[in-house]
Chains A and B, each alone.
Chain A
Amino acid sequence: MRPRTIGRLGVFVVTVALLGVVVVLSLMVGRQAISPGEVIRALLPGATGDNADIVRGLRLERTVIGLVAGLALGAAGALMQALTRNPLADPGLLGVNAGAAAAVVTGFAFFGVADGFAQTGLGLAGAAVASVVVYLLGSGSREAATPARLALAGTALTAVLFSYINAVAMKDQASFDEMRFWVVGSVVNRGYDRLLIALPLIVVGVLLALAMTPALNALSLGDDSAHALGLGVGRARIAVAVAITLLCGAATAVAGPIVFVGLTVPHVARRLVGADQRKVVPLSMLLAAGFLVFCDTLGRVVSGGAEIQAGIVTAVLGAPVFIALVRRRTLVAA
């Protein structure tokens, strides 16, 4: 027992260290070659000039936004997989991201809502409505909402909503640039003001997520066993669903729809620390934050001239990792 515990603690230590490395890389690496010394000078208070604009203005902001959005998505993914007892569950898969994006796009295209505060609200509302719709579709008959039915309902709703988003984005030339962001997520120039609006929601979501991890452990034994253990199954489900909606809605309002982070990262976390949600959820947060920042950094330098949005890089990197995990058949059940 003892060495295993140390091993798990070690996993967290290594993850935090890696996260630090990723953050440093994100500040150091970009389209403009700036030496490490100059990067540090640019970060000092009072620094001005091109390097300060680039390092403090662009790189630091996208790093912070990547960290927060990644953390929220990682937590939401882990919660969702545990809640639905479905290893394929993902906020993207269950329509939550698409719901948030569709609501913001609707507000922007038809009612001219461009204000960050209103957009965050719309994102949350969209996420909530999409979760409810998926849940209703998934439990449409006499049977309860099984993981498979939920995943099918979510996939169908996501497909519908993304066709809608694409259609709206294509229709309005003047706002096409703004809309494109709601098709592929990105952490570039999102603005701290937007982040500040979403931050309280993410904090509440994270606290709720961490508080619910023991209940999730009980739920993983099946509803009957959980009930026998004295857990209010319905209430626990609702609390977790609220946390997922807060986290996904807020993350999507800040960074747009980012896929495969919430799906892939919890699998990696479970391989590292086992099925105990008290460890899986926080580790997923750390890993996802690092993963998103890393993907954003990679997107800056891999292509010839332009940058590639973080939302594309996460899909390119996340999908094969996920396929490899599935193919090895050692998918740790949530």
Chain B
Amino acid sequence: MNSRLTRLAGAALAVTVSLALTACGGDDSAEPAASATASGPFEYKDALGKDIKLDQTPTTVVAQSSVAAALWDAGFQVKGAYGELKPDAAGKLSYQAGSLDLSKVTVVGSTYGEFDTEKYALMNPQLLVDYTFDNKALWYVPAAQSEKILSLAPGLAVPGNYKTTDEAISTMVDLAGKLGADTKGAALTTAKTDYESALTAVGEAAKTSGLKVAIMSPGTDSLYVADPAQLPEGNTLKNAGLDVISPPNPKNEVFAQFSWEKAVDFKDADVILVDARTYDASKADLAKVPTWANLPAVKAGQVYPWYAAAPYSYQSYAKIYNELAGELKSAKKLS
């Protein structure tokens, strides 16, 4: 009796909140059109090999923040999201949330390991979308809660890793289209053109400068060097003509872990792209690591962010590649 009362109260609260949110949302003509018109059926063969069949195209979709942001840019607005959604001190969301508009989205988890199952249940979700990196589990769905979460709505896994960012973005656009978004419209076509011209700009900057680039995630105890062949943006940038360094003896892993003594082997890098998720927090400590501080690229100040786990959308990668092209143009060849 008591628990039912609580749940009713919760439901009432949720309705009120969502009404308030809708009211706040207002009319923003720049936003892609919401896709409530779609009917169905919905069919999708996901990355775990599961055939997802629904009679109606789901409208109440909840997704991990990077996935949600990618779908958002592709024209499909999720109703709920979880993932990296904690605003920083200035109230800004991480780049991993892309252009998600939190006034229109119910947040059911704002960092890794956080998922409010009750809040999720009250949304009456019809579909959950997340990456899978191990072909077994959904990335940001906490293992302990996954059974309960997946009993409320089917979980759709999109691959976490791709050969190129083109492939990653097409996968997201395709899913958004299946969910009812207009993926043939002018907005997305423009975004795709921007993306392609950003890549051309990277290619031109790379060709004129001949810069060697390394992608790293430096920690205080070890240096992690990304193997570009295992990273969608690594392959895309290489295809565009950028010289991205591979760590020696790659083992089919995204990151190779090295002792800091080995950092001197990466002196040929003119530019270092560092994991934007962790770099700011460790910058001061890294400055004290001599084999990091004395890397030519670090000394020359040619260390730029690598936006790991950015949403796979034309918009977000057009911005990332444009920024990179600008950095490559101003960077100098050091060796």
Which residues on A are within 8 Å of B, measured CB to CB?
A: 30-32, 50, 53-54, 56-59, 114, 170-178, 180-181, 186, 188-189, 191, 193, 300, 305-307, 309
Contact A58 B221 (CB under 8 A): no
Which of B48-56, B153-161, B185-193, B277-285 forms part of the interface with chain A?
B277-285
Which of B9-17, B67-75, B253-261 forms part of the interface with chain A?
B253-261
CA A57 to CA B290, docked complex, whole Å: 6
B220 at the interface (CB under 8 A from A): yes
Sample of 27 A–B contacts (CB below 8 Å)? A31-B258, A31-B259, A32-B259, A32-B262, A50-B267, A50-B291, A54-B261, A54-B264, A57-B290, A58-B289, A58-B291, A114-B281, A172-B111, A174-B281, A175-B278, A176-B278, A177-B220, A177-B281, A178-B220, A178-B281, A178-B282, A181-B220, A305-B257, A306-B258, A306-B259, A307-B259, A309-B221
Contact B221 A173 (CB under 8 A): no
Residue of A nearest to B290 (CB): A57
Contact B221 A32 (CB under 8 A): no
- Which residues of the other chain, B, contact A306 by a CB distance below 8 angstroms? 222, 257-259
CA A31 to CA B264, docked complex, whole Å: 11
CA A208 to CA B241, docked complex, whole Å: 65
CA A178 to CA B282, docked complex, whole Å: 8
Interface centre among B111, B222, B280, by most chain A C-beta atoms within 10 angstroms, is B222
- Which residues of the other chain, A, contact B258 by a CB distance below 8 angstroms? 31, 305-306
Contact B278 A58 (CB under 8 A): no
- Which residues of the other chain, B, contact A31 by a CB distance below 8 angstroms? 258-259, 261-262
**CB of A164 to closest CB in B, whole Å:** 14
B219 at the interface (CB under 8 A from A): yes
Contact A189 B220 (CB under 8 A): yes
Using an 8 Å CB-CB cutoff, how does the interface string of B294-305 with A read, 1 for contact, 0 for none?
A: 100000000000
**CB of B284 to closest CB in A, whole Å:** 7
- Which residues of the other chain, A, contact B280 by a CB distance below 8 angstroms? 174
B136 at the interface (CB under 8 A from A): no
A50-B264, A188-B222 provided; 7 other pairs, C-beta below 8 A? Answer: A54-B291, A170-B112, A173-B84, A180-B221, A181-B220, A188-B220, A191-B285
**CB of B65 to closest CB in A, whole Å:** 11
CA A180 to CA B285, docked complex, whole Å: 15
- Which residues of the other chain, B, contact A30 by a CB distance below 8 angstroms? 259, 261
B4 at the interface (CB under 8 A from A): no
CA A105 to CA B221, docked complex, whole Å: 17
Residue of A nearest to B224 (CB): A306
- Which residues of the other chain, B, contact A193 by a CB distance below 8 angstroms? 288
Contact A53 B112 (CB under 8 A): no
**CB of B335 to closest CB in A, whole Å:** 14
- Which residues of the other chain, B, contact A178 by a CB distance below 8 angstroms? 220, 281-282, 285
Contact A300 B111 (CB under 8 A): no
- Which residues of the other chain, B, contact A176 by a CB distance below 8 angstroms? 278
Contact B289 A189 (CB under 8 A): yes
- Which residues of the other chain, A, contact B84 by a CB distance below 8 angstroms? 173
B114 at the interface (CB under 8 A from A): yes
B125 at the interface (CB under 8 A from A): no
Choose from A177, A181, A307, A309 the contact partner of B278 (Cβ within 8 Å): A177
Residue of B nearest to A306 (CB): B257
**CB of A309 to closest CB in B, whole Å:** 7
Contact B112 A171 (CB under 8 A): yes
Interface centre among B112, B220, B284, by most chain A C-beta atoms within 10 angstroms, is B220
**CB of A246 to closest CB in B, whole Å:** 25
B32 at the interface (CB under 8 A from A): no
Contact B261 A186 (CB under 8 A): no
Interface centre among A53, A176, A193, by most chain B C-beta atoms within 10 angstroms, is A53
CA A189 to CA B294, docked complex, whole Å: 15
Contact A57 B291 (CB under 8 A): yes
CA A100 to CA B289, docked complex, whole Å: 25
**CB of B109 to closest CB in A, whole Å:** 11
CA A189 to CA B289, docked complex, whole Å: 6
CA A279 to CA B187, docked complex, whole Å: 79
Contact B260 A58 (CB under 8 A): yes
Interface centre among A31, A56, A189, by most chain B C-beta atoms within 10 angstroms, is A189
- Which residues of the other chain, B, contact A180 by a CB distance below 8 angstroms? 221
**CB of B310 to closest CB in A, whole Å:** 14
**CB of A196 to closest CB in B, whole Å:** 13
B177 at the interface (CB under 8 A from A): no
Q: Contacts A177-B282, A181-B220; is A170 near B113 (CB within 8 Å)?
A: yes
Contact A191 B288 (CB under 8 A): yes
Residue of B nearest to A170 (CB): B113
**CB of A170 to closest CB in B, whole Å:** 5
- Which residues of the other chain, A, contact B113 by a CB distance below 8 angstroms? 170-171
Choose from A53, A174, A309 the contact partner of B264 (Cβ within 8 Å): A53
